[in-house]
Amino acid sequence: MKLALRGANPPWSARSIESVGGRLFLATYRGVARAWAKAFSLLAGRAFAAFGARSVIQPPVRLEGEEWIAVGEGVFVGPGSWLQALEGGRVEIGDGTSISGSCVLSAFRSVRLGRKVLFARNVYVSDHSHRFDDPSRAVLDQGVDRIAAVDIGDGAWLGQNVVVGPGVRIGRGAVIGANAVVLDDVPDHCVAVGAPARVVRSLVADEVLA
């Protein structure tokens, strides 16, 4: 039995022409997307507190309080993200940081990402929480509480769907496993997993923690 291999087609068969056309279309699509992202970043970046060279925010993106958002050099923010600085709060994104997309950074006081931090998709970081102590009112109408600065150290990596709550410090080079909910500090060069997250390993000592 002979197998139909893609590479076995004659050089200019209909399939080959379709394949070339598809590759040309995707190359054009990628080029237009990159150009649009760079143009958007160049123009929108002027409204930020700071916006470093070679940084790109890829649309669509939701922005609020951009005058209190500082973006370093060589930063990438993927599509579908939301950067929010409320009532004078400050968001700071360090040089070389990469945010995959569909991520949220929301600051009432301060959310700081160090240099070369890596976010997978759907990471949520907030320095405040909604109040919900009054059962007679909708949570939406109760305002915020537990306002405390969040700091994520240089070189940290946060996996997909991670949530970081108010007052948390994630150390340099720390790794946060997917779907973790981080409510307490994570030391430098440690691995934390779970909901709520707990430290399970030190990368420096190469030690598994009980």
**Candidates 23, 30, 54, 130; catalytic one:** 130
Sequence letter at residue 91: V
Burial group, residue 81, by CB count within 10 angstroms (0-12, 13-18, 19+)? buried
Distance CA 149, CA 2 (A): 65
Closest CA to 61 of 89, 101, 21, 97: 101
Number of CB atoms found within 10 A of residue 91's CB: 27
CA angle in degrees (0–180, nearest 5) for 49-75-80: 90
Query: What separation in angstroms does the CA of 157 have from each of 9, 43, 56, 199?
Result: 45, 29, 19, 14
Active site residue 130: yes
Strand-by-strand arrangement of the 198-202 sheet = 56-57, 76-77, 98-99, 118-119, 157-158, 175-176, 190-193, 198-202, 207-208
| Residues catalogued as catalytic | 130
